[in-house]
Every structure is written in C-alpha cells, then in structure tokens.
Amino acid sequence: MDEDELRRVAFGRLTSPADADDVALLRPGPNWFAGVVLGARGRYAAAASVFGGLARGKDPVIAAAALTALASHRRQLGGHAVARGLDGRAFSLLTAGSGAEDPDGVDAAGIRADALLGLAADNLALGGQRAARRLIAAVTDTRWRAAVRTGWVSAEVELAAGRAAEAVAPARRAHEIATARGADRHRVKSALVLSAALVATGESPARGRAAELVESALGDVEKFGLSSLAWPACLLAADLVPANAERYRSRALEVLHAVLLRSDPEGRRIAARSPWMPR
C-alpha cells in the first residue's frame, strides 16, 4: 500500500475484503497512516513500533499525532491513565502549532482536537466528568474527523452521567457525519456508540434500531478485519441478543485473545491490569 491507499483505509471507503488482506503484506516504515491502519486491525505491537519512532521525530505535528494515536490504542486496552499521559504530551507539543491544513485533520488543529478529546475520554474513565466536559468544550476544530470524535466522547459523557436520552443526539450526529463522509471505519464505530446510547434509553423501538446497527457493524468488522472494534461489537451484541449471548461473548474473547497476542508487552500489561477488559 502507498500512502494514498493507507489514507483511504484509515479514513475512507473500505471497498473489499482485500483491504484487510493487504495489511498483512504491509511493511510499515515511519508512516503515521500505516500505524493507524495497523491499530484498526488490532496489530498493536506493529502500530506501537511505528508510533514510537514518529513520536521521537522533529516534526511536532507528526510526533503529537503519533502520541494521540498510541494513546487511543492504550485506551482501547483499558489503559486510561497511560493514555492521559500520552495525550497530555501531544497537547503540549501543539499549543502554539500551526502550518498547512490537511483534509483529514492530520495537522496542528486536528491533532490538537485529537489530544483534547483523548484527554476528555481519559478523564471520564478516571472519574473526571467535569474535566471531560471542559475539554470537549475546548475543541474548536469543526472538520469531519473532529466532529465525529466529539460526538463519540460527548455521548460517552452523557451515558456516564446517566443521561441516555441526551447521549443519542451526539452519537447520531457522529454516525451521520461519518456516513456522509464515506469514512467506513468511523461509521462502524459511530454505529456502536449510537447503539449503546439507544439501548441505554430503555425504549423498545430504540432497542430494535440498536440491534440493527450492531448487526450491520458486526458484518463490517468481520469483513474488513477491524479487530479493534470486533470484540466491543460482540459484547454489545451479547447484551442485545440474549439468545446468542454465549456465542457472542465467546467470539469477543477469541478476538481479544488474538489482539493481545499481537500487542506489545506494555499493551498486554495494561490489559491484564484493567478492570475494563472482559475476562
């Protein structure tokens, strides 16, 4: 894959199952998009190697982008405290940053938004709900990727506050933006966030819509090898379809086991210590 193809798989349309297979042939160099694609496939060790090298580079935007992306992988394994440190380092590199704009927000403003939203998610998981709201409010980037991520974290804050009805709107907005953009990976995650918000409302029609979203998302994560989203999708499906709950939970643990085998030692330690991870 060249950089344009990596960008498409990271932020655009996944056109065939070959998108997943191509990554197996990838020999990543110091390319941020390569790290993002590898992480989406649950290949956290390979992604950490890419991001570790970039984080030590001289370009503050790319270094910060690497730190926020690595933070998201640590967060996905339940390492919110570790992620907060990485997001904080990224933000400190970009407080006065500027430079050329990137269509997908891989620039100073976009990565600053990534750091702020990462810090919001980190603080929320660590009990800092007020801090999370302040950090979300500090995001000024309104482009598609920041808007989608803002929707995710805003929905998570409302769910944590027990305000399920208020979580639906930002989750739905994220799903609509990602769908309109043709950003399949973001659309799939947005579908999971929206599904969780709908289920939390306790309303029967909402639960039916949530089941539809999860079923569609599961099809996509399996088709395109999005392992980082597969096990959360299976756990959500287990709650939505009690008759198949054991099958979904078994599949979630199977995928998570495979992801941990392809994680670096720090990632495995984080997952082993985290109360957020399924056992």
**pLDDT for residue 27 is more than 60:** no
Phi, psi of 97 (to 5 degrees): -75, 155
Asked whether the CA dihedral 142, 147, 150, 151 is positive or negative, the reply is positive
First to last CA, the chain: 36
- Scanning the structure block, which residue is given the tokens 């907005």? 173
DSSP 243: G
Question: Are 145 and 110 spatial neighbours (Cβ–Cβ below 8 Å)?
Answer: yes
74 within some domain: yes
Alpha-carbon distance of 153 to 75, in angstroms, equals 13
Interval 207-237: pLDDT, tens: 999 999 999 999 999 989 899 999 999 999 9
What is the model's pLDDT at position 25? Answer: 45
278 within some domain: no
157 within some domain: yes
What is the model's pLDDT at position 183? Answer: 96
Alpha-carbon distance of 56 to 64, in angstroms, equals 10
What mean pLDDT is predicted for residues 198-206? 93
Alpha-carbon distance of 125 to 179, in angstroms, equals 27
73 within some domain: yes
279 within some domain: no
109 within some domain: yes
**pLDDT for residue 28 is more than 70:** no
Per-residue confidence at 97, pLDDT binned at 50, 70, 90? low
What mean pLDDT is predicted for residues 163-190? 97
Question: Are 18 and 225 spatial neighbours (Cβ–Cβ below 8 Å)?
Answer: no
What mean pLDDT is predicted for residues 148-152? 98
What is the model's pLDDT at position 29? Answer: 61
Q: Count of domains in the chain? A: 1
- CATH, residue 185: 1.25.40.10
pTM: 0.94
Its domain, for residue 266, covers 3-273
143 within some domain: yes
Question: Are 91 and 139 spatial neighbours (Cβ–Cβ below 8 Å)?
Answer: no
Residue 276 CB neighbour total at 10 angstroms? 14
136 within some domain: yes
